[in-house]
Structures are given as structure tokens and as C-alpha cells.
Amino acid sequence: MKINLKVWRQKNTNTSGKIVNYVVNEVNPDMSFLEMIDVLNGQLVRKGEDPIAFDHDCREGICGMCSMVVDGRPHGPLHGTTTCQLYMRNYKDGDTIYVEPFRAHAFPIIKDLAVNRGAFDRIIAAGGFVSVSTGQAQDANAIPVEKAVADNAMDAAACIGCGACVAACPNGSAMLFTAAKVSHLNQLPQGKAEATRRALNMVKQMDAEGFGKCSNIGACEAECPKEISIENIARLNREYIKAVFTGE
């Protein structure tokens, strides 16, 4: 099949970009969206042009590196799917598709479709971890965890840190990401010791990075490839209020 692509091309952070039209012939319906761009990049390289820069790594939906806003939707139109898991069989011969980078003040464009998501790393560094002394690994069942709590924490832990929530949010807010991390750790006994500090510091870092303020619109939840629920945002709100008013 033949696909018309309208791709955002931008040399670097400081230049302005624009949409450039490309035609990709002989797209195989079993190709993933990224493989189609690989094919296009092959054509560009043979013509001596600059290939399109885009992030990717695992290509199996678990690393969170692939980004891209496809027809106005982060990770494309499918629910619960990363761009690398979006297959061309979802498109028809002759379709026109817009491909743009994730956009947010806190995610500066590096080049073309690749954006700098370092702000997420700094939010994690502010509290998205459990401090442990190294040594012999503890017996896995030594600390009892209520099944429902373990399930909730596990669902939150599914976040792959891709940033689609920020790209989808009309406010450019990172609440779903931050909420998933706080929700994951603050519910588990291992994370409880640092719960107060974690909630305060991660929110503080999130604000310092220049992300927007959540309006509970829910676009993040709808676009999240790991289907993280905004119930986690409510939990973060509770954890934060608790930390502010009762924390030491």
C-alpha cells in the first residue's frame, strides 16, 4: 500500500520546524509504524537526504522510548498501544497521516520527532525510588502485602515513562506519570517509609520542570499505552494533602 506522510522536520531545539510531505510506496500491512518510517528513512538516505530522527528501543511496547503524535494522538489512534506496536494494517492504501513530536514546554525538541524527556528522569530522581541497604536479598514473602494493594501498585507500576500523558494533556501536565510512580511506591510497605518525602519532592520537581496543572480532563488516561487510571491522580492528591498537613 501507499501511505502519504506529513512529518514534522526540525533541525534542532533552536530552529523552527515545519511539516514536510513524503510518500512511502510498498508499505506492507504487517509492518509496524516505526518500520514504515525505517523504510522511508532508507529512501531518504539513498537520496542523500537527512533521515527522520525518532526515538525507539525495544519495539515491543515495554521500554517507553517511542514517542510520536500520530494524527493528533500520542502513540496513534489505538487504545493501550505504543507507536511501535501500531501496525500498518490499521491503515488503508492512500491514507494521509500526520506525524509530529510530543509537545510540551518541558519536553524540548532535540530533532524532528525526538524530544528530550529528561524532565521525567529528574522527577524520578526526586523520589521515585525506595532507599534500601544493599546486601543479601530478602525473602520474597517476608513482608505480607494485601492482594488488592499489590494489584493496585502493580497496575501503577506498569507505567513505562513514555510521556504520552503529557503530550495528550491539553495542559501539558505530568500528573499521570508522577501519580503512577507515587501510587506504585507509596502503597507498598517498602515504599511507605519515604511516602511523605516522595509525594512532596516529586510534585515539587514536576512543578519546577514547568509541566502544567492537571484539570482532570482525562486525555492522559485515554491515551496512556499502559492504561494507567486517573484514580492514581486522586491517590497522589490524597498522598500530597496528607504529606502537607500531617507529614513531619
Partner 1 sequence: MNWFQSFLVSSLGQKIVMSLTGLFLTIFLIVHLVGNLQLLHDDGGQAFNLYSYFMTHNPLIKTVSYLLYTGIILHTIQGLSLWRQNRKAAGGMKRYVKTSTATSSFAGRNMAWLGILIFIFLVIHLKDFWYVMKFTSQLEMITYPGQDHEVKNLYQLVSVEFKELWVVVIYSISMVVLAFHLLHGFTSAFQTIGANHPKYMTLIKVVGKLYAFLIPIGFAIIPIIFYCCK
Binding site for ligand SF4 (CB under 6 A): 159-165, 176-177, 180, 224-226, 228
Question: Binding partner of residue 228 among ligand FES, ligand SF4, ligand HEM, none, CB under 5 to 8 Å per kind?
Answer: ligand SF4
164 touches ligand FES by CB under 6 A: no
Positive or negative, the CA dihedral 40, 45, 51, 54 is positive
212 touches partner 1 by CB under 8 A: yes
Long-range Cβ contact pairs of 72-76 (< 8 A, separation 24 or more): 72/98, 73/168, 73/223, 74/102, 74/163, 74/164, 74/165, 74/167, 74/168, 74/223, 75/162, 75/164, 75/223, 75/225, 76/33
Choose the binding region for partner 1 from 34-42, 49-57, 58-66, 199-207 (rule: CB under 8 A).
199-207
Site string for ligand FES, 33-62 (x = CB under 6 A): -----------------------xxxx-xx
Q: How far apart are CA 221 and CA 231, in angstroms?
A: 10
Q: Are 117 and 172 in contact (CB under 8 A)?
A: no
15 touches ligand HEM by CB under 6 A: no
138 touches ligand HEM by CB under 6 A: no
Q: Are 55 and 66 in contact (CB under 8 A)?
A: yes
Choose the binding region for partner 1 from 22-30, 137-145, 155-163, 172-180 (rule: CB under 8 A).
172-180
Given the rule CB under 6 A, which residues bind ligand FES?
A: 56-59, 61-66, 82-84
